[in-house]
Amino acid sequence: MREAEAVIAALEGAEAAMLLGSGMSAATAVFLALAPGDHVVVPRVMYWALRNWLLTDAVHWGLDVEIVETSDLDALRAVMRPGKTRLVWLETPANPLWSITDIEAAARIAHAAGALLVVDSTCATPLLTRPLALGADIVMHAATKYLNGHSDVIAGALATAAPDDFWTRIRRNRSMLGQILGPLEAFLLLRGMRTFPLRVQAACAGAMELATRLANHESVADVLYPGLAHHPGHDIARRQMQGGFGGMLSIRLRGGEAAAIATAAHVELWKRATSLGGVESLIEHRASIEGAGSPCPPDLLRLSVGIEDPADLYADLDQALRRARP
């Protein structure tokens, strides 16, 4: 496990890293290291399971959880409570709407209020974004996804620029709450990371090609991908994401929810599944998975681009979109 942690620390330019039993274990370990009454700020669009846990379980722990559109820096600044806000959590690009938050600016806002900045960088990966170099205090990954890349491991990772007392509390939680990763999973994660750059580069190239082509498809109302020039976060993404804009994108269909669900049903090469970051390409009607209260529009399909030929992936989507027309 220490060898895999050393690789992640090197990838992130971190002083220390730790592996945990899942992405949720990594995320919740951070929040559980806080004290009852602490004010935390989290994004409106983020990993749904963590958002749900924060609003249903973390509040019983005594955390004061506030949701804000973190990509709006004025809105972020407005909710900070100097001396009371302990932690700001970011996810960028934010799943599944792929909004972009300026990490460097958010770090300045958080630190001015005496808060830590933690970034879920699962979808950006350390190949594209290194949050610690931009001022973040901790970076988190669902290592199940791009770091492993083969959909055969459940793991989480944290890395820090400064292993301080807060980091020590997180490490203690990992031990006392049984969140540590097993040796076999650590080995499989390390094995997967050997092909990490090749997989992410292929996914980024494929996503960019698909986003460009789908933006002109008659059945598609909008493509949500920070690599496209019309994306509201494109300029920030271009500055803080080096070498690509990620392997994830979403499309919104002119035919609405029915067309989105039908399209997901008609694909043949894409797989319908709730995951991302593997070598296989996945499609999902995200609103159905998240359920009531989701910020995800019902006409949206989330796409995780794998390493298949982008031309084949587009052809499969094209035939599914055509078959799904009202």
pLDDT (0 to 100) of residue 326: 75
pLDDT (0 to 100) of residue 296: 92
Radius of gyration for the chain, computed over Cα atoms and rounded to the nearest angstrom: 19
- pTM for this one? 0.95
pLDDT (0 to 100) of residue 321: 98
Does domain 2-193 sit in CATH 3.40.640.10? Answer: yes
Tell me the CATH class for 196-323: alpha beta
Give mean pLDDT, residues 5-11. Answer: 98
Which DSSP category does 58 fall into?
I
* Mean pLDDT value across the chain: 96
pLDDT (0 to 100) of residue 294: 83
pLDDT (0 to 100) of residue 166: 97
| Confidence check: pLDDT of 199 > 80 | yes
Residue whose entry in the numeric block shows the structure tokens 């593997």 = 278
For 216-231, how does the pLDDT look when each residue is reduced to its tens digit (9 = 90+)? Answer: 999 999 999 999 999 9
Rounded Cα–Cα distance for residues 192 and 198 (Å):
11
pLDDT (0 to 100) of residue 287: 93
Give mean pLDDT, residues 4-32. Answer: 97
Give mean pLDDT, residues 293-297. Answer: 87
Name the segment(s) of the chain with CATH classification 3.40.640.10. 2-193
Q: Give the DSSP H or E segment for 314.
A: helix 310-323
Give bridge partners of residue 39 from the DSSP assignment: 64, 85
For 48-82, how does the pLDDT look when each residue is reduced to its tens digit (9 = 90+)? Answer: 999 999 999 998 889 999 999 999 999 999 999 99
Collapsing DSSP to helix, strand or coil, 295 comes out as coil
Give mean pLDDT, residues 266-289. Answer: 96
* Whether 40 contacts 31, CB under 8 Å: yes
Per DSSP, the residues of 66-83 read EEE-TTSHHHHHHH--TT
Give mean pLDDT, residues 257-263. Answer: 97
Name the segment(s) of the chain with CATH classification 3.90.1150.10. 196-323
Binned at pLDDT 50, 70 and 90, residue 101 comes out as very high
